[in-house]
Structure 1
């Protein structure tokens, strides 16, 4: 299949992914506001709700970011009382992140966020899982050396 204008914005996969990412972030914004979380903070919280006491390096790896880029987010969350940052007993260079009681309690309120986003997407759960799988696969191919 030949594309007539390969440099047209409408023909760019990168733009479709970028604009979809902006749109989904905008869907989350009003849902997270009552929880006092930004979207990046919500991503960090989901990691900690699954496994508390994770290293900063591990959180960064799971989010596909550099630890230094996450440091301001983590610091702000600690100031909000959602988590604590402690040096690892085994390796003082490692920063371990733990939820506070307040951070743990937000989890129950956050359960409604998934349902609202699912409803807003307006597609069957199977289609959402298929799309997610395709996006994960694309990401993995792009990150392959």
Structure 2
């Protein structure tokens, strides 16, 4: 909401100005991510996947046989979040985990035949978002570049705090 001199500010308990919810970039990104999840949900329900499981499968469809660490790095998930997710995918018969022959500390994740076959069925889910974005009039490539740039800046800020 714009006031006569700019964005409307609410006052906190100390009287300091804070932006209203709809003017918070963090809320805009959070609520957009939530909208993405809702858009994907019907497609993923048909596949028997949650959104985080779908992301893990995307990583493996790009390159099979990755370590748990590599998958976690790619998805920006810690092992405490990733391990249960991978266990559920394994219980569903979509992946197999095995210790590396070269280094038993490393766990490799491979797609099963069922996991590879699921890729073809996942096309509807992969196409849903581009269609919705195109219908919005937003330039997808520019938006993606801006979001990736923002993510990089936020990661650097966290690392600097760290």
- Give the TM-score category using the shorter length: over 0.9
How far apart, CA to CA, are the structure 2 residues paired with 1:11 and 1:112?
A: 33
Structure 2 counterpart of 1:3:
7
How far apart, CA to CA, are the structure 1 residues paired with 2:33 and 2:64?
A: 27
How far apart, CA to CA, are the structure 2 residues paired with 1:30 and 1:16?
A: 23
> Over alpha carbons, which structure has the higher Rg?
2
Residues 22-67 of structure 1 show CA distances to partners (whole Å, capped at 9, x for unaligned) of 0100100101111111100100000000100000110010111112
Residues 76-102 of structure 1 show CA distances to partners (whole Å, capped at 9, x for unaligned) of 000000000101112111111000000
Structure 2 counterpart of 1:115:
127
Is it true that 1:99 corresponds to 2:111 in the alignment? yes
Structure 1 or 2: more helix by fraction: 1
Structure 1 or 2: more strand by fraction: 2
TM-score norm. by structure 2 comes to 0.83
How far apart, CA to CA, are the structure 2 residues paired with 1:7 and 1:113?
A: 35
Structure with more relative contact order (C-alpha pairs < 8 Å, separation 6 or more): 1
How far apart, CA to CA, are the structure 1 residues paired with 2:49 and 2:8?
A: 44
Name which of 41, 51, 56 aligns with 2:63: 51
Deviation, structure 1 residue 2 = 4.9
**Where does the alignment leave 5 or more consecutive residues of structure 2 unmatched?**
10-17
**Where does the alignment leave 5 or more consecutive residues of structure 1 unmatched?**
none
What is the number of equivalent residue pairs in this alignment?
A: 144
Following TM superposition, the consecutive aligned residue runs of length 4 or more in structure 1 with deviations greater than 2 angstroms are 1-4
Paired residues for 1:22-33 under 5 Å: 22-33=34-45
TM-score norm. by structure 1 comes to 0.92
Structure 2 counterpart of 1:62:
74
